[in-house]
């Protein structure tokens, strides 16, 4: 997708093996990048949310293993880096998927052959990720195009756009595809407290010229009840075999409001975001993040300089679960790279992987 009109991915490599990422903690106010030179830097980037979004976390972790092997291609270094990267964020299953895939690819090789093989595997993983997202866009397009209203009104939560992936996005891929196809589309963007990933969604939609309106999370139910939304479209960090969906905190409330209003609730789910080993979404580990994410706001002061604002006094007791689980019963259908399927049909689409 584009920044200031220039095609960009969310991460890329250099000839010396270092990995450059867009630093998402600086967006939407500033476009800045960071060079990752070690597995520890990759761990920090994932944990601090310089990179975020399930598919991008997986891609960064894959390159984290490459960086570890570049320093030391031994079995011990590979195992240590995989353990450290896996511990960075517990909910998105793409992290485990990417680490397992890359480890399985390089582990049988003699250590001197591992570095080149690891980088080739990580690059392939990223290219496949982009292709999956592009296909999600194709399969999701009819859901938007068939809406009677123009512009079709889409409500999304968090950021499941290209910033959350390598390119295209998951939930936003059908939006970008519709926009490119000339289907007028407008997106209601939930702010997504406390980390405000909705600001990232607003920024990337703006860069692509897609009309959007930023809303406080609490406005979603009102808009749904008033008939101002044609469909909800969100991403997922981990979907179980039966179709329970872990996604950014607040997704469940949107799904409940959508059901009450009779509005379809779609989940864009690439294959690596589906955890076939789990059935019940209540078994998904939910990340609990730092209390200051709720107590303290970060943004820009009137003079444009970075500024923080304490909303609540230090020490205020806080709960900060980063994700919630929407039960399959509230999901109208999944939009995957293989097509659109109701929760009960998801396994059929991915028959050979289940
Ligand atoms: O905590 P984050 O910003 O990593 O959470 C991201 C989300 O919840 C996204 O909706 C999800 O990863 C799907 S991204 C294509």
- Name the 3-class secondary structure at 341: strand
Distance 172 CA to ligand 1 centre (A): 12
In which residue are the tokens 């989940």 written? 267
Rounded alpha-carbon distances, angstroms, from residue 100 to 110, 111, 158, 265, 319: 18, 17, 27, 31, 32
- β-bridge mates for residue 275, sequence order: 240
Is the Cβ–Cβ distance between 202 and 228 less than 8 Å? no
Which 8-state DSSP code applies to residue 331?
A: -
Sheet of strand 245-248, all strands in order from the earlier edge strand to the far edge: 274-275, 238-240, 245-248, 323-326
pLDDT, position 352: 83
pLDDT, position 353: 80
Is the Cβ–Cβ distance between 71 and 77 less than 8 Å? yes
Give 6's contacts (C-beta < 8 A, 6+ positions apart).
none
pLDDT of the chain along its 354 residues, tens only?
Answer: 899 999 999 999 999 999 999 999 999 999 999 999 999 999 999 999 999 999 999 999 999 999 999 999 999 999 999 999 999 999 999 999 999 999 999 999 999 999 999 999 999 999 999 999 999 999 999 999 999 999 999 999 999 999 999 999 999 999 999 999 999 999 999 999 999 999 999 999 999 999 999 999 999 999 999 999 999 999 999 999 999 999 999 999 999 999 999 999 999 999 999 999 999 999 999 999 999 999 999 999 999 999 999 999 999 999 999 999 999 999 999 999 999 999 999 999 999 887
Residue to probe by mutation, ligand 1, list 248, 254, 271, 289, most atoms within 8 Å of CB: 248
Please list every protein residue whose CB sits less than 6 Å from any atom of ligand 1: 52-55, 92, 158, 160, 164-165, 170, 197, 235-237, 247-248, 322
Give 148's contacts (C-beta < 8 A, 6+ positions apart).
none
Q: How many helices (H) and strands (E) does the chain have?
A: 11, 18
- Name the 3-class secondary structure at 140: helix
Is the Cβ–Cβ distance between 65 and 131 less than 8 Å? no
Closest of 150, 221, 159, 229 to residue 188, by C-alpha: 229
Which 8-state DSSP code applies to residue 57?
A: H
Residue to probe by mutation, ligand 1, list 49, 130, 158, most atoms within 8 Å of CB: 158
Give 144's contacts (C-beta < 8 A, 6+ positions apart).
152, 154, 174, 175, 178, 183, 185, 231
- What is the atom index within ligand 1 of the atom nearest the CA of 235? 13
Phi, psi for residue 209 in degrees, rounded to 5: 75, 25
- What is the atom index within ligand 1 of the atom nearest the CA of 92? 12
Q: What is d(CA 149, CA 185) in angstroms, rounded to the nearest whole number?
A: 9
Is the Cβ–Cβ distance between 331 and 343 less than 8 Å? yes
Catalytic residue among 167, 217, 230, 237: 237
């Amino acid at each position: 997708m584009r920044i200031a009109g220039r095609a960009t991915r969310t991460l890329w490599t250099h000839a010396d093996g270092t990995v450059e990422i867009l630093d998402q903690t600086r967006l939407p106010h500033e476009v800045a990048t960071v060079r990752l030179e070690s597995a520890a830097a990759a761990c920090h980037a994932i944990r601090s949310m310089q990179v975020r979004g399930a598919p991008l976390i997986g891609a960064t972790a894959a390159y984290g293993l490459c960086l570890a092997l570049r320093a030391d291609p031994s079995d011990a270094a590979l195992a240590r880096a995989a353990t450290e990267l896996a511990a960075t964020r517990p909910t998105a299953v793409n992290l485990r998927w990417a680490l397992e895939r890359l480890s399985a690819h390089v582990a049988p090789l003699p250590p001197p052959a591992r570095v080149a093989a690891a980088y080739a595997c990580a690059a392939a993983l990223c290219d496949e990720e982009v292709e999956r997202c592009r296909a999600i866009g194709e399969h999701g397009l009819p859901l938007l195009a068939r809406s009677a209203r123009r512009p079709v009104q889409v409500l999304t939560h968090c950021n499941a756009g290209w910033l959350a992936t390598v390119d295209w996005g998951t939930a936003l891929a059908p939006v970008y595809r519709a926009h490119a196809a000339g289907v007028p589309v407008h997106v209601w963007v939930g702010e997504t407290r406390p980390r405000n990933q909705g600001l990232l969604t607003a920024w990337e939609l703006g860069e692509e010229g897609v009309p959007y309106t930023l809303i406080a999370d609490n406005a979603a139910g009102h808009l749904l009840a008033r008939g101002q939304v044609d469909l909800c479209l969100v991403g997922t960090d981990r979907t179980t075999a039966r179709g329970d969906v872990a996604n950014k905190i607040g997704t469940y409330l949107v799904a409940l409001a959508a059901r009450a209003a009779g509005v379809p609730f779609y989940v864009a789910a690439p294959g690596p975001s589906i955890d076939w080993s789990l059935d019940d979404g209540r078994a998904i580990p939910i990340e609990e993040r730092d209390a200051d994410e709720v107590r303290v706001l970060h943004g820009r002061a009137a003079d444009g300089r970075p500024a923080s604002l304490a909303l609540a006094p230090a020490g205020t007791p806080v709960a900060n679960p980063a994700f919630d689980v929407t039960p399959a019963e509230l999901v109208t259908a999944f939009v995957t790279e293989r097509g659109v399927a109701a929760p009960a049909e998801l396994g059929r689409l991915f028959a050979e992987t289940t």
